[in-house]
Structure 1
């Protein structure tokens, strides 16, 4: 029994050490992280909808090199983005700017979702009311089939009299 416990404990320690030492210890430096972030937000001018990080086009490769050089030179992310915007226009950014006409690209989707939600809530409430009215009518025997023609005529005559007054 003691021997089994010792052997199980030693196996657990062995597996735990293996897991600890096999962990990935390759950390990305801050510069590399900045380069990766910038490469992910700049669009390839030739490839529609692809960032320069995803594209294998020669222009995208050159742009990645420029980004890396600028980061190594100590330029800020805004300076690097401005460089590419001046060169290619604002469409080079995968995220639209949060000012000017591009602000609508940030505002319209949440506002549209809000309106859609309100419309769905109103529609569901209207459907529930109809079901409740129908259920009440059926409970009191007031379905359309249960009303005779004479009762309908009396009802409409009362409505006509009230509307003429």
Structure 2
């Protein structure tokens, strides 16, 4: 009984793909290409899942379209372009580094540089402020006197 429950738990913990048996291509090489392309495309409804993982009807339609384009002889890039033409760049998990996607690629490094510049300026300003707040002549004399008293004789 324990072995059965353990096996059931392991089977339910495995990732479940939404690809139905009637969608699978007979050619293993084409099917592997279709799966790779499907992992790169975002479900327009679920938004956080690839079309390979999504059970939404639109994802099924997209999976079938990807397979149809591959069977027709399209390259991987042509298939992706076909889907992007219909749904926009949003369906790509990794946006292209051109056009409006270039903003996404450059925003991260730009924000890192801006944050570093702000941190550098803040530490420089704080260092200048502490230098300007130095000890007065009377305080320096008192400090020297205290240090002489504490030194071993």
Is the structural similarity TM-score above 0.5? yes
Deviation at 1:32, TM superposition (A): 4.9
Aligned residues: 113
Higher-Rg member (1/2): 1
Which residue pairs with 2:98 in the alignment? Answer: 99
> Is 1:89 paired with 2:68?
no
Aligned ranges 1:9-158 → 2 under 5 Å: 31-134=30-133, 137-138=134-135, 140-141=137-138
Distance 1:132 1:97 in 2: 49
Structure 2 unaligned spans of 5+: 1-27, 141-153
Q: Structure 1 residues 87 and 127 mapped into 2: Cα distance closer, same or farther (>3 Å)?
A: same
Which runs of 4 or more aligned residues in structure 1 lie more than 4 Å from their structure 2 counterparts after TM superposition?
29-33, 139-143
Q: Comparing both structures, which one devotes a greater share of its residues to helix?
A: 1
Per-residue displacement from partner, 1:88-126 (whole Å, max 9, x unpaired)?
Answer: 233222332322233222122211211111111111222
**TM-score normalised per structure 2:** 0.58
Quote how far apart the aligned CAs of 1:77 are. 1.6
Q: Which runs of 5+ in 1 are unaligned?
A: 1-28, 144-165
